[in-house]
Structure 1
């Protein structure tokens, strides 16, 4: 019937838009983060492939099973954390081990609810300050690149700025299109060409190993930022749109998916937060009961993008230095602004948040453990000292 076709078209398109915006806006951040912690280009491409496929399957399973427009996404704050972490003792196998432990912790939040409650007790100001400190170097990268390579980076920033004014939702994807043009011009000048073999998606599996640095410096901070900056806001966004997320099944699906993707280089899967508003909002369909189709559509689109992920990774590899960090940086501007706002919003929590932010932004590593962990510990310690005796008084 014509009416049913129209009603089905809207959520289908909303799902496609959700996946396209989510993938093209932050896949460069994924590759940057994985490369920063020691992945080879092949391993980083494998990680992108694995995490994209798991996201697609997760969307389809949850949306079709519960008839809710649930969207799954990769942990963008988590991969930004990896970009700031740098090399880990034990190399890439230890990083993969950290991914595996993080996935196990996500599963534990489904099996043991008190663990999720414990994460929820971390003050939002501390968690967001840690995230802001991690994001700062990535958000500064576009301006550093503009100085080093103005002809390569300026087109990306100009397109992003104009699109932010005219087409805000598509600003980052269009900035990536500008980066593709820059890459094409660069290749025409150098005479280089894409290797056809590099365009075929392939998995590169790595046996995980565990070190103190990978567990404390990768797994724990990755778990905290994934829960505090993705899963908890994702539930809140869906609740604001009139949906109740089935918490335990969602954590089982995302935790299992994260574990399956870990050995192939995938970092973490979580509930969609920003993308959730696209698929579950009124624009997807006037009838909330029919918006679940958008979740399935988003999942199917992610599966197609997974097949194309190797081509995206190859483009990133050929890009002039500074161009892809510029795309990754502008993709994180909104997340950085939101994290800063939430970190300092409460005057009573401002000092611990500032300390947390500065320690995370410093990039210090002690005993092979990254700055994100020490930022969290320091912020909680400062907060405990400053709040000592207040409740009793």
Structure 2
């Protein structure tokens, strides 16, 4: 396959493994928050796999760069926290709206201007606040299954020391193996081997939901996925086509939103797995790993029903633990970035605490209000400094 090497295959498969094992539990929580049917849940996995597979494949082949795309894991966490009580049709409308914002950002070329409007410290604080509940869930699961969760935490710690790129995959394998050996799986749920089929949900556009879910989904994805994704590629020596990529991911989000493809973006953490010298000494050949990832992601999408059934069989403690442990690194990085700038530290703290509180007004969720409160605090303090 056009000079494909073993390193291209292994580097291409690794982001798929890390992506699914590291965030599928968060996706599952988002699906549950919107009270999706089994068919709709299968469709979500189909749309997410096919969407990031084909978008990454197209970008890699056109630009000959390792432009890996992914679903928005922080976006899924936002949906899981803020989506309860929102009808599926209105949530889908918010997803379409978010995709439209991505497309407008790409077409107008205002990515850099938009990122400057939101201070990085406040964006990081909002993300940390959204993910905080998931991290806490891993430790709350200790009450349900202390031996299982402690074993998973020990595996994560060992992975951080000796095999950081595979730490989350190892945590999932150890947790799943322990449950299999101890009969901890839900015996009432039958394993289903079937091909996932897309299920259309007609979007409804409710202004309050667009503001409380669609806008935060856009902000979180732009600040925590697209911005770091661009930085990862630039640090590897590439000049990615930012606007073109935003156009592709925006269109992909809009087209697949009715099927559950809530948001697609630059891959951030997993992008480093395909853009380094481990993939290929020649930087011009590393895009082939993304082609491999695209094929495997698309294939995984069609087997979304299998993935869903596996998680339905899993005990709640396993799902809570893997979701929380997988996000510990992101929470750490977000809190570090939020508190790193002394000038914006107070504003970032207000943003973080407000988002963690979960308080909402006028059907607009805590992430938006937290960001607005943080901006207000920053405005007042900056005026005092001047």
Q: TM-score range by the shorter chain?
A: over 0.9
2:116 equivalent to 1:158: no
| Number of the residue aligned with 2:29 | 32
**Aligned 8 A contact 2:26 2:76 in 1:** yes
Residues 52-74 of structure 1: CA deviation (Å, up to 9, x unaligned): 11100011100011111110011
Query: How far apart are the structure 2 equivalents of 1:15 and 1:36?
Result: 31
| Number of the residue aligned with 1:340 | 335
2:41 equivalent to 1:44: yes
Deviation at 1:213, TM superposition (A): 3.1
Pick from 13, 21, 28 the counterpart of residue 18 of structure 2. Answer: 21
- Report matched runs for 1:379-390 at 5 Å: 379-388=374-383, 390=385
**Aligned 8 A contact 2:229 2:267 in 1:** yes
Query: How far apart are the structure 2 equivalents of 1:130 and 1:69?
Result: 29
SS in 1 for 2:70: strand
Query: How far apart are the structure 2 equivalents of 1:39 and 1:82?
Result: 12
SS in 1 for 2:259: coil
| TM-score in terms of structure 1 length | 0.92
2:81 equivalent to 1:56: no
Deviation at 1:188, TM superposition (A): 7.4
2:135 equivalent to 1:147: no
366-375 or 27-36, larger mean C-alpha shift: 27-36
Question: Would the alpha carbon gap of residues 229 and 382 (structure 1) be closer, same or farther in structure 2, given more than 3 Å must change?
Answer: same
Query: How far apart are the structure 2 equivalents of 1:93 and 1:281?
Result: 41
Query: How far apart are the structure 1 equivalents of 2:189 and 2:79?
Result: 30
**Aligned 8 A contact 2:192 2:305 in 1:** no
SS in 2 for 1:73: strand
Pick from 113, 120, 123 the counterpart of residue 116 of structure 2. Answer: 120
Deviation at 1:202, TM superposition (A): 2.2
Query: How far apart are the structure 1 equivalents of 2:185 and 2:21?
Result: 26
Question: Would the alpha carbon gap of residues 311 and 184 (structure 1) be closer, same or farther in structure 2, given more than 3 Å must change?
Answer: farther
Pick from 161, 167, 172 the counterpart of residue 168 of structure 2. Answer: 172
| Number of the residue aligned with 2:192 | 196
SS in 2 for 1:263: helix
Query: How far apart are the structure 2 equivalents of 1:367 and 1:186?
Result: 47
Deviation at 1:88, TM superposition (A): 4.1
Query: How far apart are the structure 2 equivalents of 1:95 and 1:112?
Result: 26
Deviation at 1:5, TM superposition (A): 9.3
Deviation at 1:191, TM superposition (A): 4.5
2:99 equivalent to 1:103: yes
Residues 102-148 of structure 1: CA deviation (Å, up to 9, x unaligned): 00000001112236522332100000000001111100101101112
Pick from 54, 69, 88 the counterpart of residue 72 of structure 1. Answer: 69
Query: How far apart are the structure 2 equivalents of 1:257 and 1:268?
Result: 8
**Aligned 8 A contact 1:352 1:383 in 2:** yes
Deviation at 1:158, TM superposition (A): 3.2
337-346 or 146-155, larger mean C-alpha shift: 146-155
Give the length in aligned residue pairs: 386
Deviation at 1:210, TM superposition (A): 1.6
Which consecutive unaligned segments of at least 5 residues does structure 2 have? none
Query: How far apart are the structure 2 equivalents of 1:111 and 1:340?
Result: 32
Pick from 253, 258, 261 the counterpart of residue 263 of structure 1. Answer: 258
- Report matched runs for 1:176-325 at 5 Å: 176-185=172-181, 191-192=187-188, 194-196=190-192, 199-325=194-320
Residues 299-337 of structure 1: CA deviation (Å, up to 9, x unaligned): 111112223322111111122222201101111011000
Query: How far apart are the structure 2 equivalents of 1:5 and 1:109?
Result: 34
* RMSD over aligned Cα atoms: 2.1
Deviation at 1:180, TM superposition (A): 2.7
Residues 340-391 of structure 1: CA deviation (Å, up to 9, x unaligned): 000010111100000000001001121111111111111111111111254x
SS in 1 for 2:383: coil
Question: Would the alpha carbon gap of residues 239 and 263 (structure 1) be closer, same or farther in structure 2, given more than 3 Å must change?
Answer: same
371-380 or 75-84, larger mean C-alpha shift: 75-84
**Aligned 8 A contact 1:88 1:94 in 2:** no
